[in-house]
Chains A and B, each alone.
Chain A
């Protein structure tokens, strides 16, 4: 099941783990991504707080954790090829994986249709 936030992160949930990245809309707004700073495995992240930083030719932006949890893995491929965020934002360009600490936090997030409507209204 895929969820979306108003800050343009996506979250693919499978059981108690989730993969996090930024949406196609977000990468389009950022422009060419040149650097991604990812959280280390084992780090606890809090819903709505900074979890990663993405830097494009335009600006550096914070990526917020869509839900609270513990990071299990960061996408090492982004270190050498940050352009994956542009070419494949919602698949190969994922940022990190985490174990959810409170699955009920998913309830406040948008599904794909709701996110699409949200973006269209921007």
Chain B
């Protein structure tokens, strides 16, 4: 037989020398160093061939650019490589576990993406004639129906673009309702276990924010809250499940007391994923609540476009909801959707005629984030009511699996008060006297290939570590994460500070100087020559 007998066999037993010289390029095999595009490209290079502009008369009245713009050019292949290389240094839910508490970093199903790219949804323009977008209106209407049903609330504003925008929408509706009855209340109560955006929203809307303490079980101090109610309180902003990852069992008692005092209940629905299909906020006396479609309903967090935070309203606040919104027509002539239904928008011109004269106005230019609506409805319809209920159950199960798998080596401040909801909260008492901080643990998690958890929030506990696995992580992934966290906790307790103090060691960049970055940020790239000139 003929044999290939040249070349060198690979040697799996060979051991790499302990101290390798750095590579010539700075690359580490598949880990590629990448300069900024300004350093990489050149003004003399371009990826496209443009014809010279023929002589023409300028109509810019002297405002023409007189010097070259100085943007770097790259050939198409190099431009593609630049962004691909950068993307490899990033971390996302498509790469691994992303346990960022209160962010619900769940898998974004690809079915959603397929639906969002259908031309009838993906290629519509917000200024198209209403007759030509009946299908898009029907989709918005249908999603609105689902959100109202899941929350048992009679109205929903679809236009808010994110959670905090939804909070703004809710508080503006509350203010409009109070102003309508001539009641200039000044104070908004925010429990310590609420999201950090809540006090910011209330302050932005001109309210004085007063904090309500948490009790020893990580819940709102209900008695303190009720005792503070009075004729100056406009609203209570409560997060349920709260930022300690716990359900607020007194919610109905709180709502009843708030309503009796003439105020409104705003619920931060960021943690709705833990209760969707199980608890309807409308049954708990909530007047307004935002729903982050990019959390509970699996639309992308950034990247794929802006977020979306529809706000559901109670009967009392519904008249003050923002315009525009989609309504179904009973029996009007005109072009109809697939199933013979017809919809139109309530806008400024039609609000009065259609009995929406109390709307506080317009919150965004158009009807909301269409692409997110399509994705959220695809998610809802593909799960169905029973599937959504299981989402909440599995999210809670996964979080409790993490809580109980780690609470013997880490410290769970409210671990004794029963099961958690969708996220497991730890404090840093297990690191006491180790010289290692919550920040160090987060950096060591990067070395283990995980995105860090939410840290130093909520403020209710010291050195908080808030872990939300979501329901889309498998048992295998959770076990791998738990094994890594147990090993880190053991290393910290054994005094292995080097593993933590300078972590991450294996990331594209090691520990960054966050203090310097915050104190003296460099916000714009300048060519090196400019710096030299400045020095002269």
Contact = CB atoms under 8 A, between A and B. Distances in A.
16 contacts: A32-B514, A32-B515, A32-B518, A34-B515, A34-B518, A34-B519, A35-B518, A55-B518, A57-B514, A57-B515, A57-B518, A58-B456, A59-B456, A59-B457, A59-B459, A83-B519
Contacts of A58: 439, 456
Question: Which 3 pairs between the two chains have the least Cβ-Cβ distance?
Answer: A34-B518, A32-B515, A57-B514
Interface of B: 439, 456-457, 459, 514-515, 518-519
Nearest to B520: A34
A116 to B, nearest CB: 19
Contacts of B515: 32, 34, 57
Interface of A: 32, 34-35, 55, 57-59, 82-83
Nearest to A34: B518
Given A35-B518, A57-B515, A58-B439, 9 more contacts: A32-B514, A32-B518, A34-B515, A34-B518, A34-B519, A55-B518, A58-B456, A59-B457, A59-B459
- Main secondary structure, interface of A, reads loop
Nearest to A80: B519
Contacts, number: 18
A82 B439 CA distance: 21
Contacts of A82: 519
Contacts of B439: 58
Nearest to B203: A50
A87 to B, nearest CB: 12
Nearest to B200: A60
A57 B518 CA distance: 7
A107 to B, nearest CB: 24
Nearest to A29: B462
Contacts of A34: 515, 518-519
A59 B464 CA distance: 12
A35 B518 CA distance: 8
B202 to A, nearest CB: 13
A83 B514 CA distance: 13
A58 B519 CA distance: 13
A58 B463 CA distance: 10
Contacts of A55: 518
Contacts of B457: 59
Contacts of B519: 34, 82-83
A76 B480 CA distance: 51
